[in-house]
């Protein structure tokens, strides 16, 4: 049985076999979580991401974690920019990020997600978290044989952690 939990912390130091990078479409680094992961993983990550040729919104691609010693792999997924797409299309693309990331990590024991698209991409944290929790739970129902034992939603701040925990309770 897979456990879905929420914690506050630094995704680059959180012990999880797979961590998820909220990347931009180039996959070559940026700000926020993306920049932190690239800095922690070292220059080898940039080289590996160049070989991937970028990604479309909703796609996910995997690399080694390089110098991030608490993880084996990094899944890079491109979340939607919230403004201009409308809530329904944004939710579909965000759900794709979670589904595609879980598909890549299905044979690992643990995966850790940041709050995808909630930084500079402007997705409201409460809405994004509802999409994340519903998508993860649906994916688990459809993949009962997954090796995943733990799925972690990691928050950067106390306020974000409270929103994520509320979503876990409201969407059991």
- List the chain pLDDT tens, one digit each, 172 residues: 899 999 999 999 999 999 999 999 999 998 899 999 999 999 999 999 999 999 999 999 999 999 999 999 999 999 999 987 888 999 999 999 999 999 999 999 999 999 999 999 999 999 999 999 999 999 999 999 999 999 999 999 999 999 999 999 976 5
Rounded mean pLDDT of the chain?
96
**Looking at residue 170, what is its pLDDT?**
76
Say how many C-beta atoms besides its own lie within 10 A of residue 51's C-beta: 9
| Largest CA-CA distance found in the chain, in angstroms, rounded | 41
**Looking at residue 86, what is its pLDDT?**
85
Annotation marks residue 34 as catalytic: yes
> What pLDDT digit, counting tens, does each position of 8-58 carry?
999 999 999 999 999 999 999 988 999 999 999 999 999 999 999 999 999
DSSP state of 101: H
**Looking at residue 80, what is its pLDDT?**
97
Domains and CATH numbers, the chain: 3-170 (3.40.220.10)
Residue in 24, 124, 18 with CA at minimum distance from that of residue 77: 24
**Looking at residue 83, what is its pLDDT?**
85
Active-site residue identified among 10, 34, 96, 158: 34
The rounded distance, in Å, linking the Cα atoms of 36 and 40 is: 6
Cβ atoms of 20 and 112 closer than 8 Å: yes
Could you tell me the pTM of the whole model? 0.96
**Looking at residue 171, what is its pLDDT?**
60
The rounded distance, in Å, linking the Cα atoms of 127 and 80 is: 13
């Amino acid at each position: 049985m897979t456990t879905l939990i929420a914690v506050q912390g630094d995704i680059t130091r959180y012990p999880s076999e797979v961590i998820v990078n909220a990347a931009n479409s180039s996959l070559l680094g940026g700000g926020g979580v993306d920049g932190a992961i690239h800095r922690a993983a070292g220059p080898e990550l940039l080289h590996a991401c160049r070989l991937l040729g970028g990604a479309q919104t909703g796609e996910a691609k995997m690399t080694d974690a390089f110098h991030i010693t608490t993880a084996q792999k990094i899944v890079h997924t491109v979340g939607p920019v919230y403004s201009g797409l409308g809530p329904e299309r944004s939710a579909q693309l965000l759900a794709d990020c979670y589904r595609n990331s879980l598909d890549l990590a299905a044979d690992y024991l643990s995966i850790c997600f940041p709050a995808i698209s909630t930084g500079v991409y402007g997705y409201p944290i409460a809405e994004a978290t509802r999409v994340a929790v519903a998508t993860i739970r649906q994916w688990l129902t459809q993949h009962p044989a997954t090796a995943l034992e733990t799925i972690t939603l990691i928050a950067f701040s106390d306020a974000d952690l409270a929103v994520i925990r509320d979503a876990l309770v409201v969407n059991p």
